[in-house]
Amino acid sequence: MDHHHHYHTPPDPEVLVRLGKVMTKLDLLLQLDVTLKQDMVKLMSQADDLNNGMTALATAFAVEHDAVAAEMAALAAALANVITTSDPVLTAAVTQAIANVNHITGQMAIDAAALTASIPAATTIPTPMVTAPVVTPTVVAPVIATPPVTDPTASPPSDPPASAVTL
């Protein structure tokens, strides 16, 4: 019968200290990995929220323009009434106001859609149909500025929910 002899050497304190440091670094790396994953989920959620907000805003401008245009058309139809057309100054003022309001709301809707198209990380909203006014607008429409893009290769984080699209 063979006898195996096992020789046990006492642990080297220096090796144990180095092993302890390695274990500590591994623990820190695991904690960092968990933290990074949590941060990534949070950033993705924030990106979705911003994209959804931009989608809602841009589609709302288009809906607002359509609603205002319908009201302006009703006002123009009422103005065309024979009784009210006897005052050319009033007719011209209302006609101009209609053109100016439609110009402002139309330009804001167009700018909002253009903003979504200029940012790769946003869902692109189609440009709304804006009817040319019967007279030239006399106002300068506000402008929605297009900020510089920091990530031209980005894509929308996800499709916005139906509740963000008001078209």
In degrees, rounded to 5, the angle at the alpha carbon of residue 57 between the alpha carbons of residues 53 and 61 is 170
| Ranges of each domain in the chain | 13-164
pLDDT at residue 136, as a whole number: 94
HSE at residue 49, side-chain half, CA atoms within 13 A, is 6
Low-confidence spans in the chain with pLDDT less than 50: none
pLDDT at 152: 79
pLDDT at residue 135 in the model: 92
pTM: 0.64
Please provide the distance, in angstroms rounded to a whole number, between the alpha carbons at the two ends of the chain. Answer: 89
Residue 160, token pair as written in the block: 């916005």
